[in-house]
Chains A and B, each alone.
Chain A
Amino acid sequence: MKTTTQNDSFNKSLIASGGLHFLLILFMYYGLPILFKPLPSHHDPVPFEIVEIADLTNTRIKDREEEPKPPQPVAKPSPPIPAQPTPQPPQPPTKAAPPKEVAPLEKVEALKVKPVEKNKPQEAPKPQQDLLASVLKNVAKLKPPEQKATPDTKANAQQTPQEAKSMAPALSNRLTITEEDLLRRQMQQCWNMPIGARDAQKLIVEVIIDVNQDRTVQHAEVVDQARMMSDSFFRAAAEAALRALRNPQCSPLALPADKYEQWKRIDFTFDPRDML
């Protein structure tokens, strides 16, 4: 009996020992179990972007028809061609010697030519097609897949449906990501990049614009004025950026009418890095 008890206790401790060793091996293999799972701490710096998307996301059927020209939907509330409001008589001529720089006339007459306006919507789709093929060309690489000249991401960016409308009730006072995107895509179609220029990757132009309430550009100023004076390449690039901002095809700007306070001043950076 005694031996049985002894045996019994021996067996028990053997089992216990074996069990514990097994556990030990398990711990070694899997690591110690986390018994108290901490709640995910919100102090962790998780990078996120507050992406606000306007409510009316299902209204794109109508937009589709106008897809080639994103700025158009926003342009609707106001007349298609901006600003030359009151017909003014042309100011008296200023005569000056040819080499001299002449002060420009501020405002000229209102638009007279109606028929030409028609051409504009037809021309509009063209830039978008060119855009996908307008990186520096490489014959050898282009040959097998003619279409895949541009990375897909770019194509996708282009095809993002234009859901956001300025008429949609805003979630907050900030511009939503879609609204910003709309503005960006509008400007992409008006910006003729300085590709092929020497050191084109260094020709990054920052322009700050003040916007009128009617979404036309009131004033545009290149930030780096010193470089504009000294570097003719930079001046050319800066003027190309200014032309984009003043292009009638990009006016009025694709901005939500109800958030004037947010976009009365916009800081644009024109950087050809994605196209070189």
Chain B
Amino acid sequence: MKHHTGSSLILRGRFVATLLSLILSVFWCAGAHADIKVDITIGVVEPIPIAIPSFYGSSANDAQYGRNIAEVVNSDLVRSGLFSAIDPHSFVQDADSLLVAPHFADWRVLNAQGLVVGKVEAQPDGRLKVEFRLWDVFGEQQMTGLAYFTVPNNWRRVAHIVADAIYKRITGEDGYFDTRIVYISETGPGTNKVKRLAIMDQDGENNHVLSDGRAIVLTPRFSPTMQEITYMAYYNNRPRVYLFNIDTGRQDVLGDFANMTFAPRFSPDGNRVIFSLSEQGNSNIYTMDIRTHHIQQLTTGNAISTGPCYSPDGQNITFESDRGGSQQIYTMRANGSDVQRISFGEGNYGTPVWSPRGDLIAFTKLHQGHFYIGVMRPDGSGERELTEAYHVEGPTWAPNGRVLMYFKELVSGPGGRDRETKLYSIDLTGYNERVVPTPTDASDPAWSPLLP
């Protein structure tokens, strides 16, 4: 009994001591960390609301350009999926008072985070001066402000350049709006399609057909130096790789090979073309210097190795091959050494395309009758499928490595006998898939670098 009381006394003593030290530690902690530390590790992924009122113009003509430019900037940014437009009807402040200074409170209630204020002014020499400022509505300060001079016909390009500047300032990445797409325009019935080489602005405007459609044209690719496209065409039933100069319309066959050449792509410096050459049912990868016509064979063996693509630094090459039994993606050094298989998922992998950012490789995958477009890191890790369809193929990167374009074949027509082929773009995150408007069916898109 006595013992029991003793032990409970001890217990109580310890309890009090614990309590005391606890309380002390609380005070000590409170004293030591005057600041509260808050970790935010989850957020939202939402488009940033941005208000783009019509650019101000003092004359009717200028004002019309101002409306058009603001519209193009708006649709560029919204199409990227990273921005959302704010209904112009809700705008309170008018264009000319905006030029003086934005009433930030007015824009804050609209939940605008960015505000673009612009002005168009015809110059005495006939050119247009287009200027804009991007305002941070919450921070109430100017983020950027630029002015451009251009011939009036070029207003659309200026609008894309303005959109690129805004995109770059807010996301930190280069824009991709001032770019073009070359693709294969498809017309006619499914059994006898006419395939023409065509080019358009990234938003589907300014569409031009470049070839007459007498020869089938496939897999066009842009040169990083812009004036040239390489593609494969069947002239006189001989499939060959060609070079095509956009400015002059001149077309040349690449090299003089007895066998079929295909899957061409430019090197990052634009001086070489890497392609496949078929030999007795196999194919291997070659490069050819455009000026010296020097040819180098990079792969050997009795397998099909094709679809080569350089990394943006030109040091490595990714390609597809069936050397391991099934079609998979490999990488190697630019001289053909150190071949590594990087795709290990289920299904067949093909058409690898190295991102201009260098951090990812886009690919097409066929698994259980479904096509996927996905991305993985250059070491094969982090594989993600971005989109899936009955038939989806031909990924091409926007020059900033943030958006992919590809074509999708969809079943259409009575009884599902027809096929409809359209271009689509998707954000790298897998969200915001959108149709790219084309006047005809379209396939095999290739994104240009930023226009010079």
Contact = CB atoms under 8 A, between A and B. Distances in A.
Contacts of B101: 90-91, 93-94, 105, 108
B90 to A, nearest CB: 7
Interface in B7-33: 10-11, 14, 17-18, 21-22, 26, 29-30
A193 B43 contact: yes
Given A42-B14, A109-B105, A249-B111, A174 B46 contact: no
Interface in B90-133: 90, 92, 100-106, 108-111, 113, 131-133
B429 A189 contact: no
Contacts of B171: 194, 197, 236
Interface in A192-245: 192-199, 208, 231-237, 239, 242-244
Contact of B17 (A42, A120, A136, A157): A42
Contact of A100 (B37, B145, B388): B145
Contacts, number: 229
Nearest to B401: A198
A114 to B, nearest CB: 9
B139 interface: yes
Given A112-B92, A112-B106, A243-B139, A138 B45 contact: no
Given A137-B384, A187-B40, A208 B35 contact: yes
Interface residues of B, number: 73
Given A42-B21, A105-B140, A197-B171, A188 B386 contact: no
A196 B431 CA distance: 10
Interface stretch (A6-14, A17-25, A59-67, A259-267): A259-267
Contacts of B145: 98-102
A242 B139 CA distance: 8
A266 B172 contact: no
A130 B387 CA distance: 19
B51 to A, nearest CB: 12
A50 B139 contact: no
Contact of A265 (B11, B35, B41, B141): B35
Contact of A192 (B45, B90, B168): B45
B38 interface: yes
B409 interface: no
Contacts of A239: 136, 139, 143, 170
B146 A271 contact: no
A84 interface: yes
Contact of B38 (A127, A154, A172, A183): A183
Interface residues of A, number: 91
A139 B430 contact: yes
Interface in B30-88: 30, 34-46, 48
Contacts of B46: 126-127, 130, 134, 192
Contacts of A187: 38, 40
B372 to A, nearest CB: 6
Contact of B41 (A136, A143, A267, A273): A273
Contacts of A175: 36
B430 A137 contact: yes
Contacts of A190: 44
A1 interface: no
B131 to A, nearest CB: 4
B313 interface: no
B391 interface: no
A26 interface: no
Contact of A198 (B92, B357, B430): B357
A242 B140 CA distance: 12
B106 to A, nearest CB: 7
B428 interface: yes
A257 interface: no
B45 A134 contact: yes
Contact of B384 (A104, A134, A138): A138
A238 to B, nearest CB: 10
Contact of B140 (A42, A104, A193, A269): A104
Given A98-B147, A196-B428, A196-B429, A123 B44 contact: no
B341 interface: no
A126 B22 CA distance: 43
B35 A275 contact: no
Contacts of A143: 388
A239 B134 CA distance: 14
16 contacts: A39-B10, A99-B145, A137-B431, A139-B372, A187-B40, A194-B171, A194-B172, A198-B401, A236-B170, A237-B172, A246-B139, A248-B138, A267-B38, A268-B40, A269-B38, A272-B43
Interface of A: 39, 42, 50, 81, 84, 90-91, 93-94, 98-106, 108-113, 116-117, 120, 123, 126-127, 130-131, 134, 136-141, 143, 154, 157, 172-175, 180, 183-184, 187-199, 208, 231-237, 239, 242-244, 246-249, 262-263, 265-275
- Top 9 closest A-B pairs, CB basis? A137-B430, A236-B172, A191-B43, A246-B138, A134-B45, A193-B43, A104-B141, A233-B172, A93-B100
